[in-house]
């Protein structure tokens, strides 16, 4: 490592102010701090600092995403080979899916990080780590057959209009990954819904076995074909069509355990989102006007992107509620709205994305009222003290 | 009424280098420094020039805005240097010790003389600055009458000295006289807060004070946290507080008529070979303490604790309010993929390191930043180390936005930078929280006066 360090020290002056590549300073620092934690020391305030930093934090989230990522790769293969009626075995399926996913991940990171690098350089800031997670989340909420140019466009939209114009990581109002999905959902609805995009090769339609349907369980429900739905267990394990990372509730729950155990993700948001979803599901059961409303409430937990949204999207600390009481309310409302939109709005069989984006907007308002109660307590205390003084 | 408060929020940072309970005789120091930077918000005006002869208790400088508030020389001798920093900011006034002469301020019984006379004696002798106040965490305004006075008789900071040990080696009568004097200054109660986990020292029996018990992780020993739970500061009110060893100095002033700002300090930290207690006078150079008692290498010398102390040089001076010197290694090295390593040797508030699974009894921490400065990203973490009904992040944002009303609403009058030191330690975005809080306090102090 010493020789690498020496090499970096040797080229470093070129990137500093006055150097030949001073314009690439942020990029250089980004790579340098990726390889080596800086030698910067404290100079005022606390003399010691916790070893945690945003890189470490983001790494934990990425580790938590891995089960969903790996299962997603396997499921791409599984769905594809089912559609053409062959079974080449688990390893083949995984490799097939992995190779399908790789370009998506590369495009997402390439476009997103590229924009982040440029934005950091323009501002003269260090490069932020926020996109490390967003860059993996974006492909995971896409259908596998999404064209790469579309993905690139959506990523650019999310990073520039969703994040950088607000001031970069930590300043954004909306969750960037969901914004990317929402962008495609409204701009290219044919590629984000329907029965074909969820399974690799179905759009082209070559070698597909007769009568094969690539509809997601949610679509079946919306179309009143509840009887054709896969079993609860299949949907829990995730061997169903859907966006790449969202199908396996099991893999997502493993991620949830990692997030909660490390304290990086808010358990309050995760739990309250599931609670809100269950509550709404039960309420709909009471009325039970159609198949969808009759669906047992716990089925909603494993359907569509609900679990993925609750664990990885709602818990985004920047766009979510920031007070602890606020997190309960925020999560609960996401759960309620997700199921409400899902069941009662026939146009969008998936409600989680819109519910979270909507609650992103309301999160500051929730926080405002929570903080307000503390302010009121303080004012009341001051008033009592003043009255006692007058007496 | 005696309270017993158990706090849950907070964090004890388990550092290596706790002082052994061995008291060394007074460490001789030739030079003594008084640093105006120890007193936030102060605009100092010099009373002396280089070469002037002074006695212990002679004023070295005073507060330009409140000329009655004097800052005295701890020893007799001559002023050898006055150093200034940027924009001629006064950094320190150094006195070289010669002889042992004291100005005689006259003995008095604080139970007999009037409140005004007590304050005047403290002001004249230069001992007044030991009395500080909330709001703003500055030297108390002597024209106010505080609604309560607090003495926190224990310190929960990392490697902090054990005040029971200090009390056992201090003059009981001075401490009581000091408390008697303080009791006269307030219209309300005098609270002495002790550690609820240990048996309080005998020195605390038969005092005019109310004894309250606090326990829990750091910052349970911070006086600001205690005030918040016992008698919180509202707008327009003030609460004063004094360090326990300064109570002893006040007692000595009344019993002997001398300005003797002596104390027992703990020499601590992983880089001290024999961490022990020392008798020392305020402002003494730490040079003689650390001679042949520290490891080789690039070290950080801190007057105070690792969270709130001030960095000094190896021949720097003990701060006015400090009862502790900490020496830890500097962290000026690069760490290859440091953010990715399991980190069995890294103490962390977060459960993202292997040290959570295989904890050690104590850790050697250095001054490395462990990352780069970022915007606020994580939420809900600061709240876990601030045991107050206060929203830390919202308060910080109000300060950054200079929103006076919001700062007031969110409790700026109750806080000091030291209460947020742990937030700064645990912050994943490496934000300099204590500086922000100080900026907010200074802004409020300016706006309100």
B263-275: pLDDT as tens digits: 999 999 999 999 9
8 Å CB contact of A317 and B389: no
Confidence of residue A194 (pLDDT cuts 50, 70, 90): confident
What does the pLDDT read at residue B358? 82
**Nearest-CA distance from A42 to chain B in Å?**
6
Cis peptide before B219 (omega within 30 of 0): yes
Tell me the average pLDDT across B227-247: 93
**The token pair that represents A119 in the structure block:** 């934005």
Work out the percent of chain A whose per-residue pLDDT is above 70: 99
Confidence of residue A153 (pLDDT cuts 50, 70, 90): very high
8 Å CB contact of B434 and A46: yes
Q: Are B403 and B409 in contact (CB under 8 A)?
A: no
| pLDDT value at B253 more than 90 | yes
A39-67: pLDDT as tens digits: 888 888 899 999 888 888 999 999 999 99
Q: Which of B236, B256, B276 is the last residue of a domain?
A: B256
Question: What's the CA gap between B145 and B131, in Å, rounded?
Answer: 12
Same domain? B252 vs B386: no
What does the pLDDT read at residue A372? 92
Probe site for chain B from A26, A32, A50 (most B CB atoms < 10 A): A50
- The H-assigned helical ranges of chain A are 2-15, 25-35, 54-83, 90-123, 130-140, 148-162, 176-187, 189-192, 217-222, 232-237, 249-262, 267-287, 291-294, 299-302, 306-308, 324-344, 352-390
Confidence of residue A322 (pLDDT cuts 50, 70, 90): very high
What does the pLDDT read at residue A105? 95
8 Å CB contact of B368 and A49: yes
Residue-number span of the structural domain to which B214 is assigned = 4-256
Nearest CA in chain A to B343: A51
| pLDDT value at B1 more than 70 | no
How many domains would you assign to chain B? 2
Residue B392 lies in a domain: yes
DSSP string, B244-271: HHHHHHHHHHHHH-----EEEEEEESTT
Q: Is the dihedral of CA A284, A286, A289, A294 positive or negative?
A: positive
What does the pLDDT read at residue A178? 93
Residue B262 lies in a domain: no
3-class DSSP state of A149: helix
Probe site for chain B from A2, A56, A272 (most B CB atoms < 10 A): A56
What does the pLDDT read at residue A104? 95
Q: Which of B228, B256, B284 is the last residue of a domain?
A: B256
Confidence of residue B207 (pLDDT cuts 50, 70, 90): confident
Tell me the average pLDDT across B48-57: 94
A223-253: pLDDT as tens digits: 777 777 888 999 999 999 999 999 999 999 9
Strand-pair category, B277-281 with B53-54: unpaired
Residue B335 lies in a domain: no
What does the pLDDT read at residue A370? 94
What does the pLDDT read at residue A203? 78
Question: What's the CA gap between A346 and A324, in Å, rounded?
Answer: 34
Residue B409 lies in a domain: yes
Nearest CA in chain A to B340: A56
pTM of the model: 0.91
Specify the higher pLDDT residue, A178 or B207: A178
What does the pLDDT read at residue B153? 92
CB contacts, 8 Å: A56 with chain B: 339-340, 350, 352, 371, 428
Q: Are A124 and A162 in contact (CB under 8 A)?
A: no
Q: Is the dihedral of CA A313, A328, A260, A319 positive or negative?
A: positive
B337-359: pLDDT as tens digits: 777 777 778 888 888 888 877 88
Residue B231 lies in a domain: yes
CB contacts, 8 Å: B390 with chain A: 374
Nearest to B334 among A36, A374, A378 (CB): A36
DSSP B28: P
| pLDDT value at A347 more than 80 | no
Q: Are A318 and A172 in contact (CB under 8 A)?
A: yes
What does the pLDDT read at residue B336? 81
**Nearest-CA distance from B440 to chain A in Å?**
15
Work out the percent of chain A whose per-residue pLDDT is above 90: 50
Least confident of A7-21, A58-72, B370-384: A7-21
CB contacts < 8 A, A to B, total 214
Q: Strands, DSSP E only, in B128-261?
A: 132-134, 138-139, 148-152, 189-195, 210-215, 239-241
- The length of chain B, given as a count of residues: 449
Same domain? B249 vs B391: no
3-class DSSP state of B408: helix
CB contacts, 8 Å: A379 with chain B: 409
CA dist list (Å): A314 to A164, A274, A356: 20, 11, 6
3-class DSSP state of B374: coil
3-class DSSP state of B176: helix
Tell me the average pLDDT across A164-189: 90
**Nearest-CA distance from B418 to chain A in Å?**
9
What does the pLDDT read at residue A158? 94
8 Å CB contact of B352 and A379: no
Same domain? B237 vs B94: yes
What does the pLDDT read at residue A326? 95
Q: Are A154 and A138 in contact (CB under 8 A)?
A: yes
Specify the higher pLDDT residue, A348 or A111: A111
| Segment 344-363 of chain A within 8 Å of chain B by CB | none
DSSP B291: T
Residue B360 lies in a domain: no
Question: What's the CA gap between B18 and B161, in Å, rounded?
Answer: 8
CB burial readout B367-402, b (16+ within 10 A) else e: bbbbbbebbbbbbbbbbbbbbbebbbbbbbbbbeee
Q: Which of B256, B284, B319 is the last residue of a domain?
A: B256
8 Å CB contact of A371 and B410: yes
Tell me the average pLDDT across A342-352: 80
CB contacts, 8 Å: A269 with chain B: none
What does the pLDDT read at residue B413? 94
Residue B276 lies in a domain: no
Question: What's the CA gap between A37 and A24, in Å, rounded?
Answer: 19
CB contacts, 8 Å: A5 with chain B: 334, 336
8 Å CB contact of A261 and B351: yes
Same domain? B249 vs B397: no
Residue B180 lies in a domain: yes
Same domain? B21 vs B170: yes
Work out the percent of chain B whose per-residue pLDDT is above 90: 77
8 Å CB contact of B368 and A40: yes
Residue with tokens 């090295």: B333
Tell me the average pLDDT across B219-237: 93
Tell me, yes or no, if A380 comes closer than 8 A to chain B by beta carbon.
no
Tell me, yes or no, if A90 comes closer than 8 A to chain B by beta carbon.
no
- The interface pTM score, or ipTM, of the predicted complex is 0.90
Question: What's the CA gap between A232 and A246, in Å, rounded?
Answer: 15
Same domain? B243 vs B389: no
**Nearest-CA distance from A201 to chain B in Å?**
38
CB contacts, 8 Å: B188 with chain A: none
B124-182: pLDDT as tens digits: 999 999 999 999 999 999 999 999 999 999 999 999 999 999 999 988 899 999 999 99
CB contacts, 8 Å: B393 with chain A: 322
Confidence of residue B57 (pLDDT cuts 50, 70, 90): very high
What does the pLDDT read at residue B40? 92
What does the pLDDT read at residue A140? 95
């Amino acid at each position: 490592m010493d020789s690498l360090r020496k090499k970096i020290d040797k080229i470093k002056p070129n990137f500093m102010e006055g150097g030949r590549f001073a314009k690439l300073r942020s990029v250089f620092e980004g790579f340098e701090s990726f390889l080596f934690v800086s030698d910067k020391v404290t100079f005022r305030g606390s003399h010691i600092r916790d070893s945690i930093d945003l890189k470490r934090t983001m790494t934990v989230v990425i580790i938590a995403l891995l089960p969903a990522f790996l299962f997603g790769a396997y499921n791409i293969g599984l769905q594809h080979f089912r559609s053409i009626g062959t079974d080449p075995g688990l390893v083949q399926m995984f490799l097939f899916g992995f190779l399908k996913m790789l370009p998506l991940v590369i495009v997402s990171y390439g476009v997103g990080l590229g924009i982040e690098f440029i934005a950091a350089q323009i501002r003269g800031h260090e490069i932020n780590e926020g996109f490390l997670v967003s860059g993996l989340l974006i492909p995971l909420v896409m259908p596998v057959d999404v064209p790469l140019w579309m993905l690139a466009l959506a990523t650019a939209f999310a990073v520039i209009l969703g994040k950088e114009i607000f001031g970069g990581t930590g300043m954004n109002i909306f969750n960037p990954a969901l914004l990317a999905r929402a962008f495609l959902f409204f701009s290219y609805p044919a590629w984000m819904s329907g029965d074909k995009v969820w399974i690799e090769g179905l759009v082209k339609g070559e070698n597909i076995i007769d009568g094969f349907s690539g509809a997601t369980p949610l679509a079946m429900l919306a179309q009143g074909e509840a009887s054709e739905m896969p079993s609860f267990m299949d949907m829990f394990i995730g061997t169903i069509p859907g966006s790449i990372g969202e199908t396996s509730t099991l893999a997502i729950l493993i991620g949830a355990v990692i997030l909660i155990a490390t304290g990086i993700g808010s358990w309050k948001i995760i739990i309250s989102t599931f609670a809100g979803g269950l509550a709404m599901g039960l309420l709909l059961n009471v009325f039970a006007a159609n198949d969808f409303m009759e669906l047992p409430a716990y089925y909603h937990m494993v359907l569509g992107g609900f679990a993925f949204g609750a664990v990885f999207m709602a818990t985004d600390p920047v766009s979510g509620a920031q007070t602890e009481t606020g997190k309960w309310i925020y999560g609960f409302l996401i759960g309620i709205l997700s199921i409400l939109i899902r069941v009662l709005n026939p146009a969008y069989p998936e409600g989680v994305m819109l519910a979270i984006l909507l609650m992103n907007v309301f999160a500051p308002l929730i926080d405002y009222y929570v903080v307000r109660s503390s302010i009121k307590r303080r004012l009341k205390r001051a008033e009592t003290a003043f009255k006692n003084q007058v007496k | 009424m005696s309270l017993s408060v158990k706090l849950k929020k907070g964090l004890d940072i388990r550092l290596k280098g706790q002082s052994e309970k061995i008291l060394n005789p007074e460490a001789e120091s030739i030079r003594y420094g008084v640093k105006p930077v120890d007193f936030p918000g102060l605009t100092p005006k010099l009373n002396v020039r280089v070469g002037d002869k002074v006695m212990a208790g002679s004023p070295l400088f005073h507060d330009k805005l409140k000329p009655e508030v004097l800052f005295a020389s701890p020893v007799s001798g001559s002023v050898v240097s006055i150093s200034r920093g940027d924009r001629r900011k006064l950094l320190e006034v150094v006195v070289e010790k010669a002889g042992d002469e004291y100005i005689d301020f006259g003995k008095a019984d604080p139970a007999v003389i009037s409140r005004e006379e007590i304050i005047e004696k403290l002001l004249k002798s230069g001992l007044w600055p030991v009395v500080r106040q909330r709001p703003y965490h500055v030297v108390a305004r002597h024209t106010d009458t505080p609604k309560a006075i607090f003495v926190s008789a224990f310190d929960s900071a990392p490697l902090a000295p054990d005040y029971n040990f200090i009390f056992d080696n201090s003059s009981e009568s001075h401490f009581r006289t000091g408390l008697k004097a303080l009791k006269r200054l307030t219209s309300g109660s005098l609270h002495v807060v002790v550690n609820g986990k240990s048996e309080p020292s005998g020195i605390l029996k038969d005092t005019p004070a109310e004894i309250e018990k606090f326990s829990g992780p750091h910052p349970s020993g911070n006086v600001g946290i205690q005030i918040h739970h016992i008698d919180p500061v509202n707008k327009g009110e003030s609460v004063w507080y004094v360090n326990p060893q300064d109570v002893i100095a006040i007692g000595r002033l009344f019993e002997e008529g001398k300005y003797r700002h002596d104390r027992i300090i703990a020499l601590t930290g992983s880089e001290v070979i024999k961490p022990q207690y020392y008798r020392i006078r305020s402002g003494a150079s730490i040079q003689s303490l650390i001679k042949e008692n520290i490891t080789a290498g690039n070290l950080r010398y801190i007057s105070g604790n690792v969270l709130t102390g001030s960095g000094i040089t190896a021949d720097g001076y003990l701060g006015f309010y400090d009862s502790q010197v900490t020496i830890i290694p500097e962290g000026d090295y690069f760490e290859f993929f440091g953010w990715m390593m399991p980190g069995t040797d890294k103490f962390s508030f977060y459960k993202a390191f292997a040290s959570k699974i295989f904890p050690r009894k104590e850790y050697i921490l250095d001054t490395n930043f462990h990352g780069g400065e970022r915007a606020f990203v994580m939420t809900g973490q600061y709240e876990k180390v601030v045991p107050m009904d206060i929203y830390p992040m919202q308060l910080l944002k109000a300060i950054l936005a200079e929103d006076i009303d919001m700062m007031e609403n969110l409790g700026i009058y109750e806080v000091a930078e030291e209460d947020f030191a742990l937030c700064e330690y645990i912050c994943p975005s490496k934000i300099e929280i204590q500086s922000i809080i100080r900026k907010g306090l200074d802004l409020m102090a300016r706006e309100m006066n």
